[in-house]
Amino acid sequence: MENILRNFFLFMGKNRAATKMAKKYGLRFGAGRFVAGASLQSSIEVIKKLNDEELAVTIDHLGEFVDNEQEAREMTDHCIDAVKGIAESNLNSQLSLKLTSMGLDISRETVLSNMKRIMDAAREHNVFITIDMEDETRCQATIDIFKELKSEYDNIGTVLQAYLYRTVEDIQDLDSYNPNLRLVKGAYKESPSVAFPEKSDVDENFKKIIKMHLLNGNYTAVATHDDNMIAFTKEVVKEHNIPKNQFEFQMLYGIRVERQRELRDEGYKMRVYVPYGNDWYGYFMRRLAERPANVAFVLKGVFGK
């Protein structure tokens, strides 16, 4: 049943009609548990509270299915506003973004032009930018653009997904760039031709890439809610005397809140991924797909008092 629900939510997350309807009716039906409101200001207030609890943050202005240059420019403007908002409010926050929101599906020229606008603002205001990874069909293009930008900007990182067969080779290929990488299991529905279909294989590959990247001496963000992966990371850093300033743990806003505080109290850097914006639907569906038990919170939000 859990696998059926997961496939259902991943399918619905790619539904353009549902995405448009969700934009129209706003943050309802439990999405507020995972999304910090519709506006930048609402996310800033959330970040302030998290920072007060000694939790670092990365924010993401949500966007799906950007297919015209005007909308890509608007999304770019939102990101620049977020960079300025982080700096003006003196927040302990980075910015995460998706290249499809900046025009990746339109043209390479469009996405690079928009990304350089963002990176110029981020460099001016000393804000770090992470390029989120999307589905496998966009993986190589994302890595290629990351490499090009990394040659010009220091304050940029990207994400690699453990469920893809190619990821070990990507870790090796990127090592010469001394990359700051967020390592995740992966949240998209992929073909068995490109991704491990079994959870146990994904878990083993996740452990492999965590250890590889740490031992390469590069900054490693281990983004997981899985206690086994957290324990494995702790073992690796202890065994190899890896300093705590070379890695961090990351978790999603609204998920395993107490565990986030526990890791902070243990002296680990803990960063919370805080999304905001009206275009929340695809992100929300992927969160439900990752853990269908979250449906209970949605139902409570819809029908509860």
- For residue 142, give the CATH number of its domain: 3.20.20.220
In a domain, 91, yes or no: yes
* Largest pairwise CA distance in the chain: 54
Does 118 lie in the same domain as 9? no
Q: For every one of its 305 residues, what pLDDT tens digit does the chain have, with 9 covering 90 and above?
A: 555 545 554 554 455 555 555 454 555 554 566 788 778 999 999 999 999 999 999 999 887 668 899 999 999 999 999 999 999 999 999 999 999 999 999 999 999 999 999 999 999 999 999 999 999 999 999 999 999 999 999 999 999 999 999 999 999 999 999 999 999 999 788 999 999 999 999 999 999 999 999 999 999 999 999 999 999 999 999 999 999 999 999 998 988 899 999 999 999 999 999 989 876 666 666 666 665 554 444 444 333 43
Closest of 151, 152, 158, 95 to residue 125, by C-alpha: 95
Does 199 lie in the same domain as 108? yes
Does 200 lie in the same domain as 103? yes
Does 144 lie in the same domain as 1? no
Q: Using the 8-state DSSP alphabet, how is residue 164 labeled?
A: B
In a domain, 46, yes or no: no
Does 177 lie in the same domain as 31? no
Does 262 lie in the same domain as 131? yes
Half-sphere exposure of 155 (CA within 13 A, CB side): 19
Give me the domain span that covers residue 30.
Answer: 1-35+280-305
CA distance 285 to 280: 9
Does 124 lie in the same domain as 13? no
Does 98 lie in the same domain as 228? yes
In a domain, 47, yes or no: no
**Is 182 tagged catalytic?**
yes
Does 90 lie in the same domain as 232? yes
In a domain, 45, yes or no: no
User: Which tokens is 138 given?
Assistant: 């966009």
Determine which one of 60, 105, 132, 170 is catalytic: 132
**Is 132 tagged catalytic?**
yes
Residue 27 is predicted with a pLDDT of 52
N- to C-terminal Cα distance for the chain? 28
In a domain, 180, yes or no: yes
Q: Using the 8-state DSSP alphabet, how is residue 54 labeled?
A: T
Where does residue 103 fall: left (phi above 0), alpha (psi -120 to 50 degrees), or beta otherwise?
A: left
Distance of CA 247 to the CA centre of its chain: 16
Determine which one of 6, 105, 182, 279 is catalytic: 182
Q: How many residues does the chain have?
A: 305
Does 302 lie in the same domain as 187? no
* H or E, element range at 29: none
Count of domains for the chain: 2
